[in-house]
């Protein structure tokens, strides 16, 4: 008997899953720190333009391609033509790399959550009087602890993916996403009412393009573009995969709007939670990857104090953990769907559980070096192993977010926009009578803006690697 391919149960369920994939550490951790390092307002403006002109276009393209072919990242490209198979492989490879460091970061979040839980009942037991920076430094250098939490994070992710698309992924997201938005608003209220918080708001919203001179326009553009792709889960077949589980009745264009808008709102909320606090506590916005951890830790231990501070810290990190899990499952799903589709088309049983378990274990292994170099500080593995410039996390991130994803998006827009022609996407989106209202706008973005921006990003990226 042929197995029926799974499908999302409801429109809301699909949207929450897709928004759940998009909203994650990229928004809450990546966005504020990258904005901090790239001039605040200047970065924000470029980011918003990219979402409107590139993000929306690629989102619709991916969802439509997935639904049309009914296949995940690799299968979808094979369905277009066998010669494009490798683009799909690039996507799956990105999934492996991203998830392997994503899970380590997710583990950090889990560790913060548990620390605040402990602090609630016995103050001092988890942070032991350490300041927030000191605590963060101590624990990123504790490789054993990081590996343990990375392992736990991978197990949770794998169990949900084993549950399947509608049973596991959809159910989980419907609750977690709305709760996170509410909690972020609570943290923002505390953050913006701290004395001195105004400077953080000015950093984000007062027009200031000095960064284009100091950091360079192309550097800001490159970072913003990478961040946008990462945050919207684009360029590696994640939305192709999610689209492939979508019913033909669904309005693709509407979803392609709602997902980027919700994701961007969540990033802005995270920025509003972090930036005012950074300035209020006299920290540097350019603090880098530790920014979220160090700053918000201080909000909960000094902005709020005592039991209430620990309670809010616990709830906050719990929800961030949920957001990270909903994103991680989409990354693992890309890898699992690839093998499941391959099995099913070879007439074998899909074997979702075993496949997912094996893949999750491999990803766990790939992530171990990320736990061992103290994020570039050099712990068990020496400092910044790649030309003294990048730690493992950066390195995995550069290959995936820096190269494979922009390359994948560029090739997709060229193949669909110029070789196969955009009409395929229009036909797919309109198959059950939904009208593509922004077809012309989408087409111009997809055929012209996307490839041009991607070329610029790729050149910038290779320069960063020291290749040019």
Residues that bind ligand TRP (CB under 6 A): 21-22, 24-27, 98, 230-231, 233, 236, 238, 327, 330-331
Complex with ligand TRP: residue 43 or 230, whichever CB lies closer: 230
In angstroms, give the least distance from the CB of 191 to ligand TRP: 21
- End-to-end distance of the chain based on CA atoms, in angstroms? 55
In angstroms, give the least distance from the CB of 343 to ligand TRP: 23
Q: What is the DSSP letter of 70?
A: T
Complex with ligand TRP: residue 226 or 303, whichever CB lies closer: 226
159 exposure class (CB count in 10 Å sphere: 0-12, 13-18, 19+): middle
CA–CA dist 372, 306 (Å, integer): 33
Could you tell me if 28 and 266 are in contact, meaning their C-beta atoms sit under 8 angstroms apart?
yes
Structure-block tokens of residue 193? 């009412």
In angstroms, give the least distance from the CB of 391 to ligand TRP: 19
In angstroms, give the least distance from the CB of 97 to ligand TRP: 10
Could you tell me if 334 and 312 are in contact, meaning their C-beta atoms sit under 8 angstroms apart?
no
Could you tell me if 295 and 36 are in contact, meaning their C-beta atoms sit under 8 angstroms apart?
no
In angstroms, give the least distance from the CB of 239 to ligand TRP: 8
Complex with ligand TRP: residue 233 or 384, whichever CB lies closer: 233
Complex with ligand TRP: residue 23 or 211, whichever CB lies closer: 23
Could you tell me if 424 and 252 are in contact, meaning their C-beta atoms sit under 8 angstroms apart?
no
Complex with ligand TRP: residue 92 or 120, whichever CB lies closer: 92
Determine phi and psi for 404, rounding to 5 degrees: -60, -45
CA–CA dist 3, 443 (Å, integer): 36
In angstroms, give the least distance from the CB of 236 to ligand TRP: 5
Other C-beta atoms lying within 10 Å of the C-beta of residue 432: 10
Complex with ligand TRP: residue 37 or 266, whichever CB lies closer: 266
Complex with ligand TRP: residue 27 or 384, whichever CB lies closer: 27
Complex with ligand TRP: residue 324 or 416, whichever CB lies closer: 324
Return the residue nearest ligand TRP (CB atom).
Answer: 26
Could you tell me if 427 and 263 are in contact, meaning their C-beta atoms sit under 8 angstroms apart?
no
Query: Per residue, what are the HEC states of 423-447?
Result: HHHHHHHCCCCCCCCCHHHHHHHHH
In angstroms, give the least distance from the CB of 327 to ligand TRP: 4
In angstroms, give the least distance from the CB of 401 to ligand TRP: 7
Other C-beta atoms lying within 10 Å of the C-beta of residue 88: 25
Q: How far is the CA of 457 from the CAs of 95, 273, 366, in angstroms? A: 20, 29, 26
């Amino acid at each position: 008997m042929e197995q029926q391919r799974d499908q999302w149960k409801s429109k809301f369920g699909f949207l929450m899953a897709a928004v759940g994939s998009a909203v994650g550490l990229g928004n809450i951790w990546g966005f504020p720190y990258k904005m901090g390092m790239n001039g605040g307002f200047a970065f924000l403006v470029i980011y918003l333009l990219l979402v409107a002109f590139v993000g929306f276009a690629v989102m619709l393209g991916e969802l439509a391609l997935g639904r049309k072919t009914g296949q995940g990242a690799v299968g979808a490209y094979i369905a277009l033509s066998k010669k494009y198979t490798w683009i799909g492989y690039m996507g799956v490879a990105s999934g492996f790399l991203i998830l392997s460091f994503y899970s380590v970061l997710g583990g950090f979040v889990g560790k913060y959550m548990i620390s605040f839980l402990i602090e609630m009942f016995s103050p001092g037991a988890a942070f032991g009087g350490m300041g927030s920076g000191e605590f963060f430094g101590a624990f990123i250098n504790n490789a054993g602890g990081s590996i343990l939490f990375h392992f736990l994070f991978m197990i949770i992710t794998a169990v949900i993916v084993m549950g399947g698309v509608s049973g596991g992924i959809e159910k989980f997201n419907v609750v977690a996403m709305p709760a996170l938005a509410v909690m972020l608003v609570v943290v923002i209220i505390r953050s913006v009412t701290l004395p001195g918080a105004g400077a953080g708001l000015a950093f984000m919203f007062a027009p200031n393009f000095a960064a284009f001179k100091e950091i360079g326009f192309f550097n800001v553009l490159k970072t913003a573009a990478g961040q946008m792709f990462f945050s919207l889960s684009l360029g590696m077949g994640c939305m192709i995969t999610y689209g492939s589980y979508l019913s033909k009745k669904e309005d693709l264009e509407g979803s392609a709007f709602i997902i980027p808008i919700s994701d961007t709102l969540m990033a802005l909320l995270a920025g509003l939670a972090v930036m005012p606090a950074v300035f209020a506590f006299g920290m540097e916005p350019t603090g880098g990857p530790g920014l979220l951890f160090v700053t918000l830790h201080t909000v909960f231990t000094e902005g709020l104090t005592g039991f209430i501070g620990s309670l809010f810290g616990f709830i906050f990190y719990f929800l961030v953990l949920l957001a990270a899990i909903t994103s991680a499952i989409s990354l693992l799903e890309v890898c699992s769907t690839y093998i499941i589709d391959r099995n099913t088309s070879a007439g074998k049983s899909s074997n979702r559980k075993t496949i997912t378990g094996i893949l999750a274990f491999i990803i766990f292994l790939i992530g171990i070096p990320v736990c061992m170099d103290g994020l570039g500080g050099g712990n068990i593995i020496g400092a910044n192993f790649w030309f003294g410039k990048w730690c493992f996390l950066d390195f995995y991130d550069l290959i995936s977010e820096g190269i494979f994803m922009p390359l994948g998006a560029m090739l997709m827009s060229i193949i669909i926009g110029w070789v196969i022609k955009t009409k395929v996407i229009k036909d797919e989106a309109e198959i059950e009578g939904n009208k593509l209202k922004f077809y012309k706008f989408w087409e111009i973005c997809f055929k012209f803006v996307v490839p041009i921006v991607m070329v610029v990003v790729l050149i910038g990226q290779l320069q960063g690697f020291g290749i040019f």
